[in-house]
Copies of this chain bind each other. A is one copy, B any other.
Amino acid sequence: MTHAELLHAIQVAWQNMQEQQPLVQCMTNTVASQYTANVLLAAGASPAMIDKPFEAEVFAGIAAGLIINVGTPTTEQVQAMQLAAKTRQLKSLAWVLDPVGYGPVLKWRSQIVDQLLTYHPSVIRGNASEIATLSGHIHASKGVDTLLDSRYAIDYKQALFQHTQVVAISGASDFIACPNMTVEVRGGSALQPKVTASGCALGALIAAYCAVTSPFVASVAAHVHFAIAAKKAAEKYSYVGHFNAAFLDHLQALRADDLAAHADLHILKLKQE
A244 within 8 A of B: yes
Q: Are B240 and A246 in contact (CB under 8 A)?
A: no
Q: Tell me if A's interface is mostly helix, strand, loop or mixed.
A: mixed
* Whole-angstrom CA separation of A34 from B241 in the bound complex: 13
Size bin of chain A's contact surface: 35 or more
Question: What is the chain B residue whose CB lies nearest that of A39?
Answer: B196
* Whole-angstrom CA separation of A237 from B197 in the bound complex: 25
Max chain B Cβ within 10 angstroms of own Cβ: one of A58, A62, A105, A239: A239
Max chain B Cβ within 10 angstroms of own Cβ: one of A30, A62, A237: A30
* Whole-angstrom CA separation of A211 from B174 in the bound complex: 32
Q: Are B72 and A75 in contact (CB under 8 A)?
A: no
Q: How far is the CB of A77 from chain B (nearest CB, A)?
A: 9
Q: Are A108 and B41 in contact (CB under 8 A)?
A: no
* 20 further contact pairs, Cβ within 8 A, besides A31-B49, A38-B195, A46-B142: A29-B49, A30-B33, A31-B37, A32-B34, A34-B34, A46-B145, A49-B71, A52-B72, A52-B74, A55-B105, A58-B105, A59-B143, A62-B105, A74-B74, A74-B76, A239-B253, A240-B248, A241-B246, A241-B247, A241-B249
Residues of A within 8 A of B (CB): 21, 23, 25, 29-35, 37-38, 41-42, 46-52, 54-55, 58-59, 62-63, 71-76, 101, 105-109, 142-145, 193-197, 237-242, 244-250, 252-253
